[in-house]
Amino acid sequence: MSDEWRRDYNQGNKDQTAREPILAASTPTFLKRLSRSVEEHDGSRVVLALDLEPSNALVDKACSIIDALACYICSIKINMHLLLPLSMDDIKHVNDYAHSYGLQSIADIKLNDIPSTNKVTIDYLADSGFDALTINPIIGLDALNDTIHHAHGRGGVCMGAIALVYMSHKSAESSYGMQVGAVVPEGQHAQNPTSSTSLYRIFLEWALTSNADGIVVGATRPEMIRECRAYMVGKHGYRVTALFSPGSGAQGGDPSIALKSGADYIIVGRSILYADDPVKEASRLAKISSSSSYSS
């Protein structure tokens, strides 16, 4: 190793130490920050998916959309539509802009790698101003636990982690709905520790065991929302994990039914972004989300 390499390497290790979780007890969790945002935005439980089509001036477009819609939403959500074309500085600018309106920002990257890579990813996302990220439980219970623990301890931020439980698109049935021979600890979801169950039930159990801040269940599957909500309430007796539901509007789900079935937040992109009047549509969804609630 050359001196120059050694110097960089050692510096890198020092920086890594500086990244070790240092979290003040007073740092509010993602869900607390999100609840505050709901209060500040007239009770709206709409998470806006900023899924802009490829074009120039994406940062300006994202910021003008935030200007127009901030009072009807509680959070933005950014995925590959912006993460791939934009730089980290650009993304940070958009996130800071959202924060200036009191909004939260979720990185919808469906994190799905080995724990060491996941941790570096989380650090970059936190540095880019994100408040939470989505994660795919297919990485396995220990990896999920480890990764979420790292997100929660991320110095000064307390990143939230939202686990996929049942996605909204049609073919999700062939994966999340798959029957698998589960070995689930006794007393948990499956009655019989070696019985077969559906993959989404295992993901739900793992999400709760790993202290995920939220789960994703598609608005296209209100019966799954109802089942997951009932299980979460039954397990904890109260709500500690929020249910985020994408898939209303463009994907065919009904936002009001999703919320009444147990969703806490609806994630909406195209039906707002490409509405004839996006402000009117966002305002309509904000009203629905503030007035529809779960009844068991």
Examine residue 83 and tell whether it contacts ligand NUP (CB under 6 A). no
Q: Which stretch binds ligand NUP (CB under 6 A): 116-124, 191-199, 234-242, 262-270?
A: 262-270
Examine residue 251 and tell whether it contacts ligand NUP (CB under 6 A). yes
- What gap in Å lies between CA 108 and CA 162, rounded to an integer? 9
Of 27, 29, 36, 51, the one binding ligand NUP by CB under 6 A: 51
Q: Which stretch binds ligand NUP (CB under 6 A): 112-120, 149-157, 179-187, 246-254?
A: 246-254
Output 184 or 219, the one with its CB closest to ligand NUP. Answer: 219
Name the packing angle between helices 199-209 and 222-236 (round to 10°).
40
- What gap in Å lies between CA 90 and CA 81, rounded to an integer? 13
Examine residue 49 and tell whether it contacts ligand NUP (CB under 6 A). yes
Joined tokens for residue 171: 């073919």
Instruction: Supply the minimum distance, in Å, between the C-beta of residue 186 and ligand NUP.
Output: 30
Examine residue 62 and tell whether it contacts ligand NUP (CB under 6 A). no
By CB under 6 A, the count of residues binding ligand NUP is 19
Contact call for residues 164 and 175 (beta carbons, < 8 A): no
Instruction: Supply the minimum distance, in Å, between the C-beta of residue 271 and ligand NUP.
Output: 6
Q: Which stretch binds ligand NUP (CB under 6 A): 19-27, 147-155, 204-212, 245-253?
A: 245-253
Of 135, 159, 167, 208, the one binding ligand NUP by CB under 6 A: 167
Joined tokens for residue 104: 């939260």
Examine residue 240 and tell whether it contacts ligand NUP (CB under 6 A). no
Give, as ranges, the residues between 213 and 232 that touch ligand NUP (CB under 6 A): 216, 218
Residues that bind ligand NUP (CB under 6 A): 49, 51, 79, 108, 134, 167-168, 216, 218, 246-247, 249-251, 267-271
